[in-house]
Structure 1
Amino acid sequence: MNGRYLQWNQKSMRWLWLLVVLGVLASLPIAYERFNTEDHTARKVEFVFDYRDLLEISDFQSDPRAFVNDQIKLLKKSGVHSMSVYEATLSELKLSRRIEVFTSHEAMALTQSPISPNENFTYILFAGKEAQERLQPLIAATFTSVNVKTRPWSFKNQAGMIIEMGQEEAMLRTMDPDPITLDMLKSEGFQIVVRLSNRRPFDAVRIDALLAQFQQYGIKRFIIDGETVPGYVNDKDWDNIDTMAELMKKHNMGLANIELQKAQQKGFNRLSKMLGYNVVRLHSFTEKDGEKLTENLTEEELRTRVQEVADRFVLAVKDRNIRIVFLNARAVKNVDKGKILHPLAAIAESLKGPDGAIPRILDAGYTTGIAEKFQPMYPGWHKVAKGFVWLGAVALIALTISYFVPEITLLLFILGMLGSAALYVYSPALFAQGLALGAGTCAPTLATMLAIRSARQRHRTKTGSSLLFAVLLLLRTALISAMGICFIVGFLNTITYMLVIEQFRGVSALHLVPIVLVVLYWLLFSEDSSYKEKRERAKKLLSSYISVLWVLGAIVVGAAGYYYLSRTGNEGQASAFERLFRSFLENTLGVRPRTKEFLIAHPLFLLGAYLCVKYRNAVLLILIGVIGQASIVDTFAHLHTPLHISFIRIVYGLSFGILIGIGYIIVWEIVARSWRRWTPLLLKGS
């Protein structure tokens, strides 16, 4: 039985490779459907300014209303055609100059009339008849709903009202958005985006009426204000959220998903799912970001920062499927200049100035307008294609392990199919992510191990052109690594990953595991030797004496590894110099290749493949090249990046990597030949 199994195991290698190829081919039409979704739907980009921020800045001006009017005209001229309006509060109505608010003590001082010392109410005076007619019913209904009494009040023929609640608490109460502001912004030609919170008790009748009002204003989408979506109670009670979704669909409302949040808003995923993922991604330019444009800067420094902001917006749209750019700003006290500054003019410059964001976004094939959702297609044949992708992924994982323990390849494939089937029953999402991560990790690992074998074979034969061999080996290795891309795209092609409602976990593992496996393969498994010899070699390595030099080397490698991993994934950090270099590449090429690929990994791989004819240990440079191979796959693991952008990035990385690698080879040849020429003369002279 053992002999028969080994025969089947040996024959299975060819069939497993066939399954891998079939899986790759099956993933290509799935990838094409995703490309069509990204390239032919949701091509409108919406720039939204926070109207509340504008009110807060105006509070520092000598003529607040004139300031607001001037700035909304500037913003509209600069390409901002949408304004964000929050649920109203007394604080915001006061900023809008629609009401004045007083405590009981302030009202007593104002009216010169005694008020009970036990009273702690809120007094309001309306700025005019329109404010009274439109806001008094709104305010009264809000406080009546929480059992707080209100009554009319006036001072010198100016209408007002009394709210029987302390001012601090009353100022926090949310109500429907200010209708006067909605009318004004609509009359100015702005599209309105509403911020809705979960601060009020959920009332389906009230929400229905509110969304109907929004629909009359042409509002298409709202952004969650706070940590929970309207109607959220807990992770087990979804009744209110399901009702909210039905009302939103009734009134044709969608959501926006804010990128780079510390945590997704509670209930957001459920609400998005019930809406059929009528969701767009939103990039937030925060108040803190705006402050950087108000610092003590020279004109040149300010122009540089404005350009960086423009680059940031363009990159967000092109590289991360952002369809709403949300702009914030605030006033800043500048002691050195003795002024209250704000970044509104600089923000406007970043949008429509020389080399501004909006003209560049238009040049890239987008238009400005109301953001629309992606419209993915999931035809019935996807299930059949994904079946082949499943077979291919498990086969690829089994083949990779076969380079370490070949005898268990067939067994691993069978167990892998059974285990992954059980995982699918337990959690389809975990099944897809697990196999995508496994195949994505194994592809660059297998590609580099095959490259090491080819380099060793090349060292033994010493035939042909070394440069041609090196270039072809790099391209072949990249092509094998690209199989991991196909499996990741094939498994994770749903809209939830494009919108980052779900995230592909394990990006750091995708970077680190191939390096560990390839080094392990090089140390113990790349030579034809028995398991006993491998064990002896491992034992010898583990029992080797450790010198100070080894410790220092380990520290350097560990620090490099930590830096490498700290910069991977969506939250990786880059230095200021690297951000500047990235910006240069992005503006020059349109799509930025990855630095570690074209400057380090690919050139060193090419140099190692070139030198392996003469030097056996040149394979160490090919080992470093596994970083570039893992990076190729990782580029497509950023599922919110359009496929064609990732593809261009890889092509640029290989193209420039080959050119720079040839430069490394030329430098090596010059140094080596000079060494061979001058060393004998120097020795003879000495």
Structure 2
Amino acid sequence: MTHFRYNRFLVALIFAGLLAALAIGWQRHTVEVGNSRVETVMDYEEVVELAQMEGVPVPEMMRMLKEAGLTSLAVYEMTLEKLQKSGKLTVVPGAELLAHYRSGEIDKPLFQESGGRIDPAQVYIFADRQNPGDQSFFEELTADLSRRLGAGRVHSLTPLDNRLAVAVDTSFDKTLKWNLGLPSHQMQDAADNGFAIVARPSNYTKVKPDDVSAVFARLSPFAAHISGLMFVGEEALGFPDLLPLTARLIAESGYTLYMIEHPVQLQFIKQEGLTAIAAAAGYRAARVYVIPKDEQPRIAVNTAINRWALSDRERNIRVNLLRKFERTDPGQSLTETNLRYISGVKKAVEAKGFTLGRAGVFQPYFPAPWLLAVVILGVTAAGVLFLTLVWPFPVRWQYILLIVIALALAIPVLAGGGTLARQATALAAAVLFPTLAMTWQLDRWRSSPPREGSALARILVDGLGGLTVATLMSLAGGLYLGAVLGDIRFLLEIEIFRGVKLTLILPLLLITVIYIVRYNPWGGGRIDSPQAVVAQLKRVLDYPVYVKTLLLFAAGAGAAWVFIGRSGHTAGVPVPAFEIKLRTFLEQTMYARPREKEFLIGHPAFLVAVLALYRQWPRLAHYVLIVAATVGQGSMVETFAHLRTPVFMSLVRGLDGLLVGALIGILAVVAVQLLHYLSFLLGRRLAPHE
């Protein structure tokens, strides 16, 4: 039996790297707990629409929503269509206006200019002089039209009656929907009713510095009330060439940049230049979540409330962009339903330890490069150690390999960059540590083989002890991963961990290599040379294939399809209803819901694998159980790859998974043992009749 040595120097470097990872993890934890303020936002237009639908004055509706827990109103840019529907103005194509004039419906000139002549190619915009604010509103509208279309296409008119009018050289249908500018009257209304303002500007075609400056000039009178900017459309304001100007004005104004999470919960909706502005503005940014518009009608109010609390805690969401519910709860009006919704969100969020107000932001945290270098050294030592456990090679070559790889990864980091090197280190940690955890367990069993016929209690004690140690080793890998990528860019998900699929697949392949090297299930002697490896491959290829083998491979392929399809953020294998209910139950009863791969697959398989050793099950069955156990270990480390999730929560999630998985594993071992006893008793009863 080949004896594999665990190089103590490499183990010491791994421990040193873990200490550095813990130091970074604590700093990161401090930054995360310091950001605990959540903003609840609803569109200004939705509030007005709700008031109109319910026949409630808009100020009264705003008062009720504010008391329920709404903190801010999002104000979008004006469009002629919105303004016409709201009654602020009337937009008429010139051809239509001319037709009314010729038919006699209009029997006198409309304007002083050109004898009141009407141009059918123009669009005419009218507003009444009802109060002193109408003049400033119309001037604002005219300025926005001139900025979007060009001053030469907007013509001020002097009506012969008490109205305001302007003629525009443009297409009627297209002009109606154009974003023009942020309406001061809506921002003033929001501020007067005690709300913070979330400004939602869009970009300009062939944007110029004056365009960007004009947006901030429009916001300036309301600066004390504005909490942040949330861009509309596929481009951030200033894209492509004026992003530095936008970032500078955001920073100078003290606004926060709001970034809307993508519906698949990976990074953000497509807005060119968004992350560049966030970086240039010093990462004063907050993550926004909104329930997809096509999904909200299908879910209950209570489900939506629970989702907000979960999103804020698990994904560092600090802006809850709420849409109104358009269907009523039984026995409630639409107003009562939405008030219950908003107040429910407020209570659920506060129950998780958050406070309501303007969105909190992370301190611009970046770990010290020398600490990152120590972490990189520790992961490199783990990689070299793994290679020695596959194929022992001279110590001097171990150290040469250690130095070369560690320097290649650490030098860019020490120079102030190295994002790619850090991502590669994180991937290595995610793959290596669960594999090393299971490798150590296999070597422990080989050095002290379990005794056949041992009591069930001994099996459970051995299994639970081994599972605990393996879990702690895997969690160490998670701490490594969470530390090496633990800066504000990853917390905001501007940068992400790369290689989620690999973290799930590679540990299974590596533990397969380890298992073959340790147990050589196909026979043929020791695998300690290239010739032995080639001979073993030939022996595997010559292995006879039975129908049961094909069925086993088919079952394995199905399991792999589910396993891989359920990972990542793209649409894959659907989640059944009973599992959704199980998740909800665990979310409500535990601090952090453990992952099914751990408590339903990995940890129970680990304990059953120990039973398989004690009961001398076939080697193939033991191998399958070891692979399943590795799934659980890899899942724990992969949890830390979600950098937007607080590191403390990822750690507790792994420990919760250990607790629940151990309980399920104990039940599984006892059930298997009872089935074994039952089959033995049935065999004895049937024997006399044979």
TM-score interval, smaller chain: 0.7 to 0.9
TM-fit CA distance, 1:482: 1.9
More divergent stretch after superposition (566-575 vs 658-667) = 566-575
Secondary structure at the counterpart of residue 84 of structure 1: strand
Question: Take 2:54 and 2:638, find their aligned partners in 1: how far apart are those partners?
Answer: 54
Which residue pairs with 2:298 in the alignment?
292
The 2-side partners of 1:58 and 1:433 are apart by 50
Matching residue of 2:387: 401
The structure 1 residue matched to 2:179, chosen from 162, 171, 174, is: 174
Residue of structure 2 in register with 1:220 after alignment: 227
1:384 aligns with 2:370: yes
Which structure 2 residues correspond to residues 187-586 of structure 1 after superposition, within 5 A?
Answer: 187-205=192-210, 207-208=212-213, 210-217=215-222, 218-233=225-240, 237=241, 240-260=242-262, 263-292=269-298, 305-329=300-324, 346-352=337-343, 356-378=344-366, 382-407=368-393, 409-421=398-410, 428-459=418-449, 465-527=458-520, 529-531=527-529, 532-571=531-570, 574-586=575-587
Q: For the Cα contact (< 8 Å) 2:409–2:422, is it kept in 1? A: no
Alignment CA distance shift 1:258-1:496 (3 Å): same
Alpha-carbon distance, 1:212 to partner: 4.7
2:688 alignment counterpart:
684
1:37 maps to which residue? 31
Tell me if 1:161 matches 2:131.
Answer: no
Asked if structure 2 preserves the Cα contact closer than 8 Å seen for 1:219 and 1:253, the reply is yes
Pick which of 553-562 and 363-372 moved more.
Answer: 553-562
Confirm or deny: 8 A CA contact 2:491 2:644 kept in the other structure.
yes
What is the Cα deviation at residue 405 of structure 1?
A: 2.2
Deviations 1:354-373 (A, max 9, x none): xx232121122110000121
SS of 1:171's equivalent? helix
| 2:376–2:410 contact (8 Å) kept in structure 1 | no
SS of 1:49 mapped into structure 2: strand
Deviations 1:591-617 (A, max 9, x none): 211122112210121121133122153
The one-letter amino acid of 2:489's match is T
Q: Secondary structure of 2:288's match?
A: strand
Task: Report the aligned-residue RMSD.
Answer: 3.0
Q: Distance in 2 between matches of 1:72 and 1:566?
A: 45
Q: Is the 8 A contact 2:95 2:119 kept in 1?
A: no
- CA drift at 1:506: 0.6
Q: What does residue range 81-230 of structure 1 map to in structure 2 within 5 Å?
A: 81-108=71-98, 112-113=105-106, 119-127=120-128, 128-130=130-132, 132-145=134-147, 146=150, 147-152=152-157, 154=159, 157-205=162-210, 207-208=212-213, 210-217=215-222, 218-230=225-237
Q: Is the CA contact 2:13–2:377 (under 8 Å) kept in the aligned structure 1?
A: yes
Alignment of 1:587 with 2:588, yes or no, is yes
Shift of 1:426: 11
Query: Could you say if the C-alpha distance between residues 11 and 597 of structure 1 is closer, same or farther in structure 2, counting changes exceeding 3 Å?
Result: closer
Of 635-644 and 209-218, the range deviating more from structure 2 = 209-218
Using the alignment, how far apart are the partners of 2:334 and 2:496 within structure 1? 34
Distance 2:47 2:460 in 1: 62
Is the contact made by 1:134 and 1:179 (CA closer than 8 Å) also made in structure 2?
A: no
Paired residues of 2:319 and 2:359 also in contact (CA < 8 A) = yes
Tell me the secondary structure at the aligned position of residue 255 of structure 1. Answer: strand
Pick which of 479-488 and 188-197 moved more: 479-488
TM-score calculated relative to the size of structure 1: 0.87
Once the two structures are overlaid, the 10-residue window that deviates more, 113-122 or 453-462, is 113-122
SS at match of 1:477: helix
> Are 2:656 and 1:656 equivalent residues in the alignment?
no
Distance 1:512 1:266 in 2: 33
Native 8 Å contact 2:182 2:201 kept in 1: no
> Aligned residues: percent identity?
25
User: Could you tell me which residue of structure 2 aligns to residue 603 of structure 1?
Assistant: 604
The change in CA–CA distance for 1:155 and 1:505 in structure 2 (over 3 A counts) is farther
Stretches of structure 2 lacking an aligned partner (at least 5 in a row): 108-115, 521-525
Q: Secondary structure at the match of 2:226?
A: coil
| Deviates most, 554-563 or 244-253 | 554-563
CA distances 1:202-223 after superposition (whole Å, capped 9, x unpaired): 3444544542542432213110
Selected match of 1:623 from 619, 627, 630: 627
Residue by residue over 1:304-327, the C-alpha shift from the partner in whole angstroms, topping out at 9 and shown as x without a partner, is x11110111011011111000112
Q: 1:635 aligns with which of 635, 639, 651?
A: 639
* Counterpart Cα distance in 1 of 2:143 and 2:373: 57
What is the distance in 2 between the residues matched to 1:673 and 1:42? 56
What is the SS of the residue equivalent to 2:494? coil
In structure 2, distance between residues paired with 1:77 and 1:125: 38
Shift of 1:569: 2.6
Distance 1:12 1:541, change over 3 A: closer
**Of 676, 683, 689, the match for 1:672:** 676
Whichever residue aligns with residue 420 of structure 1, its letter is L
Q: Equivalent of 1:25, from 16, 19, 27?
A: 19
Cα distance in 2 for partners of 1:118, 1:108 equals 8
Alpha-carbon separation, structure 2, partners of 1:162 and 1:205? 24
8 Å CA contact retained: 2:126, 2:165: yes
Q: Following the alignment from structure 1 to structure 2, what is the Cα–Cα distance between the partners of residues 523 and 279?
A: 50
The answer as to whether partners of 1:98 and 1:131 remain within 8 angstroms in 2 is no
Q: Distance in 2 between the 1:445 and 1:116 partners?
A: 83
Residue aligned with 1:198, SS: coil
- C-alpha distance in structure 1 between counterparts of 2:641 and 2:255, whole Å: 30
Question: Equivalents in 1 of 2:577, 2:370: separation in Å?
Answer: 47
Give SS of 1:197's match.
Answer: coil
Structure 2: distance between partners of 1:470 and 1:43: 40
SS at match of 2:614: coil
TM-superposition CA deviations, 1:74-107 (whole Å, max 9, x none): 4323211211001222122223321122222332
Q: CA deviation at 1:427?
A: 6.0
Q: Which amino acid aligns with 1:278?
A: R
C-alpha displacement at 1:480, in angstroms?
A: 1.5
Q: Is the 8 A contact 2:365 2:488 kept in 1?
A: no
Unpaired runs of 5+ residues, structure 1, are 1-9, 294-304, 335-340
Looking at structure 2, the residues matched to 467 and 587 of structure 1 have their Cα atoms a distance apart, in angstroms, of 29
Secondary structure, aligned partner of 1:180: helix
Distance 1:87 1:231 in 2: 16
Are residues 576 and 343 of structure 1, via their aligned partners in 2, closer, same or farther at CA, if it must alter by over 3 Å?
farther
Count of equivalent residues: 646
Taking a change above 3 Å as real, the CA distance of residues 441 and 11 of structure 1, as seen in their structure-2 partners, is: closer
2:170 match: secondary structure: coil
TM-fit CA distance, 1:142:
2.3
Deviations 1:227-283 (A, max 9, x none): 1111112xxx4xx21122111111111201111257542111211111110000100
Q: CA 1:508/1:429 → structure 2, altered by over 3 Å: closer, same or farther?
A: same
Q: 1:331 to 1:50 in 2, by over 3 A?
A: same
- What is the CA–CA distance in structure 2 between the aligned matches of 1:364 and 1:426, rounded to whole Å? 37
